[in-house]
Structure 1
Amino acid sequence: MTRIPFDQLAKQYLEGFLEPLGTVQRSLEVPGESKFVDVWFTPTSVAPAPPLDLGLLSRIVVTPCLLEPFRNAPTRQQVRSCLLKLLWIQEDQRRQMERRGATQSEADLPWLWILAATVNQPVIADFGGQFRPDWLPGVYFVAEGLKTAVVAIDELPQTEATLWLRILGRDATQQQAITEVIALPKDDPRRNRVLQLLVNWRVTLELSDVIDATEGDLMASLSQAYLEWEHRTKEEGREEGIRQGEKKLVLRLLTRRVGELPEGVRSQIDQLSLPQLEALGEALLDFSSLSDLEGWLAAQMIG
Structure 2
Amino acid sequence: MTRFIWDKFSKDFLETLLSPYGTVVVSKEVTSEIKEIDVYFSPNTAKIPSQLGLLGRLCQNPCLLEPYRNGITLDGINDCLSKRFAIREIFHREAKRNKQRISEEEIPKLWILTPTASERILSLFTAQLQPNWGEGVYFLPEGFGTAIIVIHQLPAIPETLWLRLLGRGGTRERAIDELERLSPNNPLKSASLNLLYNLSRNLEALSKKTQEDREFIMRLAPLYQQDREQAVQEGLKRGLQQGVQQGVQQGVQQEALKLVLRQLQRRLGEIPHNLEEIIRNLPVERLEDLGLALLDFDTLTDLDNWLHP
Alpha-carbon offset, residue 133 of structure 1: 0.4
**1:90: which partner in 2?**
88
Unaligned segments of structure 2, at least 5 residues: 252-257, 263-309
Is contact 1:21-1:52 (8 Å) kept? no
SS in 1 for 2:170: helix
TM-score norm. by structure 1 comes to 0.76
**What CA distance in whole angstroms lies between the structure 1 residues aligned with 2:92 and 2:245?**
59
**1:163: which partner in 2?**
161
TM-score norm. by structure 2 comes to 0.75
**What CA distance in whole angstroms lies between the structure 2 residues aligned with 1:203 and 1:236?**
24
- Pairing partner for 1:75 from 49, 73, 81: 73
Aligned: 1:56 with 2:89: no
Is contact 1:31-1:88 (8 Å) kept? yes
**2:45: which partner in 1?**
45
What is the identity, as a one-letter code, of the residue corresponding to 1:222?
A: L
SS in 2 for 1:164: helix
Runs of 4+ in 1 over 6 A off after TM superposition: none
Of 32-41 and 240-249, the range deviating more from structure 2: 240-249
Alpha-carbon offset, residue 224 of structure 1: 4.5
Q: Percent identity?
A: 37
Is contact 1:198-1:225 (8 Å) kept? no
**What CA distance in whole angstroms lies between the structure 1 residues aligned with 2:68 and 2:57?**
20
Alpha-carbon offset, residue 65 of structure 1: 0.9
**2:130: which partner in 1?**
132
Q: How does 1:112-261 map to 2 (within 5 A)?
A: 112-242=110-240, 244-245=242-243
User: If you compute each CA radius of gyration, which structure gives the higher value, 1 or 2?
Assistant: 1
**What CA distance in whole angstroms lies between the structure 2 residues aligned with 1:102 and 1:212?**
52
**CA distances 1:176-221 after superposition (whole Å, capped 9, x unpaired):** 0001011111112221121111112112222334322343343334
**What CA distance in whole angstroms lies between the structure 1 residues aligned with 2:167 and 2:5?**
14
Is contact 1:198-1:226 (8 Å) kept? no
What is the identity, as a one-letter code, of the residue corresponding to 1:35?
A: K
SS in 2 for 1:25: strand
Alpha-carbon offset, residue 93 of structure 1: 1.9
Residues 231 and 28 from structure 1, CA distance in 2 versus in 1: closer, same or farther, beyond 3 angstroms? same
Is contact 1:25-1:40 (8 Å) kept? yes
**1:35: which partner in 2?**
35
Aligned: 1:26 with 2:26: yes
**1:6: which partner in 2?**
6
Is contact 2:24-2:39 (8 Å) kept? yes
